[in-house]
Amino acid sequence: MTNFIILTYIFLDTMQITLAGEYALRAMIFLSSQGVGVKCTIIDISKAKRIPEMFLRKIIPLLCKSGLIISKKGKSGGIFLARDPNKITPLDILEAVDGPIYLTKCINDKNFCQEVEWCSVHSIWNEILVEMRNKLSQKSIVQIAVESEKRKLLHINKLNS
């Protein structure tokens, strides 16, 4: 994995986080919905959140290293949250997997751009970055899991009516 996320414009002017970041968010939301201290296997998470098992096996050590989860091997092993899920945010998860978020290289590498001090575009990127970091820190994974479950039930009810 890279040392930092650089959100870049891809094709139709869309910004994207990494697939590892997306999968890590899904896995952590799943773990939070299982309850504190409940152990799950990689296979449980993989099946429930449709994450390729081999990809998940690469993400789990990164989440462990950051102190978000604990992984125990063996017969009584499993994966479980290391911290209160009410205090874990999407920003925590994305940065655990991909490192700090930067919109452009000039924000991360001061030697990349010689106009950083006066560049109006640079200041726009900084403002957007602050807003994005704030947004990614506003909700816990528990809140997201609850909202997701509500949307899922609404969707199911809509299909059944």
Percent of the chain with pLDDT over 70: 82
Tell me what pLDDT residue 13 has.
43
At 12, is the pLDDT very low, low, confident or very high (cuts 50, 70, 90)? very low
Looking at residue 7, its amino acid is: L
Tell me what pLDDT residue 107 has.
67
Percent of the chain with pLDDT over 90: 53
Which pLDDT tens digit goes with each residue over 76-132? 889 999 999 999 999 999 999 998 887 777 666 677 776 666 677 777 888 888 999
Give the span between the Cα atoms of 129 and 132, in whole angstroms: 5
Give the span between the Cα atoms of 42 and 56, in whole angstroms: 7
CATH topology for 5-160 is: Arc Repressor Mutant, subunit A (1.10.10)
pLDDT at position 4 over 70: no
CA–CA–CA angle 77, 82, 86 (5° rounding): 135
Domain boundaries, the chain: 5-160
